[in-house]
Amino acid sequence: MKLFYAPGACSLGIHVLIEELGLPHEGVLVNLRDGQQFSDDYKAINPKAKVPAIVLDDGTVLTEWIAIANYLAATNPAAQLVPSSPVEAARCNELVAYINGWMHPQGFARIFRPERFAPNPEDKEAVREQGRKIFAEGFDLIEPVLADGREWLLGAFSIADAALFYVSFWAEGRQTIPLPPNVSAHYARMKARPAVARAMEQERLS
Ligand SMILES: N[C@@H](CCC(=O)N[C@@H](CS)C(=O)NCC(=O)O)C(=O)O
């Protein structure tokens, strides 16, 4: 399998899942700062010009964080990366969708790429502030899910933890906003997992 990633991007969460599963893979770095995602070569793989993308050994290309994470869980059922009960599986994807479909594109993207939301350069700081608010509200909403010393979002480690990890990395690792205590403890717990340490080392992150 090939994983197309950018260091510290949302692809880090997929990298963590691949490491958790111990799947042989080749990481292919897409330099987002240089705009490599818009190159013809990369758009031939993912016309949406985003990471992550994975290419399976038979050439099948999969894109979109939620789709890739669910594919990895479904093809490695013993690891139970998505709970087997339908309600718990829905709860898992409820969290993933909120993190990947709201906090990331509406919150963090405003902080990181304000120009995409504000054609007028004078509005950039207001957009960033809006993003910080959306991002912080998201973490506050997740905070009680980890109450009473709950280690992982669904009780056992799941794809939702990998999703929370990549946005926590953006918040605490890149110091965009402080994390509430339970989420911060979850971030520390994630960093202590050997698979996470391996993914971070491969992406040269600390
Ligand atoms: N909906 C996509 C979004 C992926 C996404 O936004 N990836 C970012 C990195 S975190 C990216 O590739 N950005 C490049 C760009 O927007 O130019 C997914 O969940 O996989």
Pocket flag, ligand 1, residue 51 (CB < 6 Å): yes
Closest CA to 52 of 162, 201, 168: 162
User: How many Å apart are CA 148 and CA 141, to the nearest integer?
Assistant: 15
What pLDDT is stored for residue 175 in this prediction?
84
Q: Where are the domains of the chain?
A: 2-79, 86-193
What pLDDT is stored for residue 176 in this prediction?
84
CATH 1.10.8.100 fits 2-79, yes or no: no
Burial of residue 44, with CB atoms counted within 10 A of its CB: 0-12 exposed, 13-18 middle, 19 or more buried:
exposed
Pick the CATH number of 86-193 from 1.20.1050.10, 3.90.950.10, 3.40.50.1370, 1.10.10.10: 1.20.1050.10
What pLDDT is stored for residue 150 in this prediction?
97
Instruction: Please write the tens of the pLDDT for every residue from 152-163.
Output: 999 999 999 999
Q: Residues of the chain whose pLDDT is less than 70?
A: none
- For ligand 1, pick from 3, 4, 10 the residue to mutate: most ligand atoms within 8 Å of CB: 10
Q: Pick the residue whose CA is nearest to atom 6 on ligand 1.
A: 50
